Amino acid sequence: MEFIKMHGTGNDFIFLLDLDDKYIGQESNLAKKLCHRRFGIGADGIVLVRKSAVADVKMVIVNSDGSGANMCGNAIRCFGKYVFENNIIDKEIITVETGDGVKELELKIDSEGKVETVKVYMGEISFDGSLIPLKNKEKLIDEDIVVNGKNYRASSILVGVPHTVIFVDDENYDVTEGKYIEKYELFEKGTNVNFVKVIDNENILVRTWERGAGATYSCGTGCSASVVICNKLNLTKDKVNVRVPGGQLRIELEGTSIYMIGDAEFICSGKAY
Q: Which residues are catalytic?
A: 72, 219
Pair 207, 118 in one domain: no
- Whether the model pTM is above 0.95: no
Host domain of residue 232: 143-255
d(CA 169, CA 148): 20
The structural domain count of the chain equals 2
- Per the annotation, where are the binding residues for substrate? 11, 63, 73-74, 192, 210-211, 220-221
Pair 12, 68 in one domain: yes
pLDDT at 17: 98
Q: Is residue 59 a contact partner of residue 69, using CB atoms and an 8 Å limit?
A: no
CATH code where residue 148 lies:
3.10.310.10
From 132, 87, 78, 81, select the one nearest 107 (Cα to Cα): 81
Pair 106, 21 in one domain: yes
Pair 225, 152 in one domain: yes
- Residue 136 included in any domain: no
- Residue 79 included in any domain: yes
From 102, 99, 69, select the one nearest 189 (Cα to Cα): 69
Contacts of 254 (CB under 8 A, 6+ apart): 238
Pair 228, 265 in one domain: no
d(CA 199, CA 142): 19
d(CA 219, CA 10): 9
Q: Quick one: DSSP state of residue 54? A: S
Residue 91: Cβ within 10 Å count: 11
Predicted confidence (pLDDT) per residue in 223-238, tens digit: 999 999 999 999 999 9
- Residue 159 included in any domain: yes
pLDDT at 273: 86
- Residue 172 included in any domain: yes
Predicted confidence (pLDDT) per residue in 107-127, tens digit: 999 999 999 999 999 888 899
- Residue 133 included in any domain: no
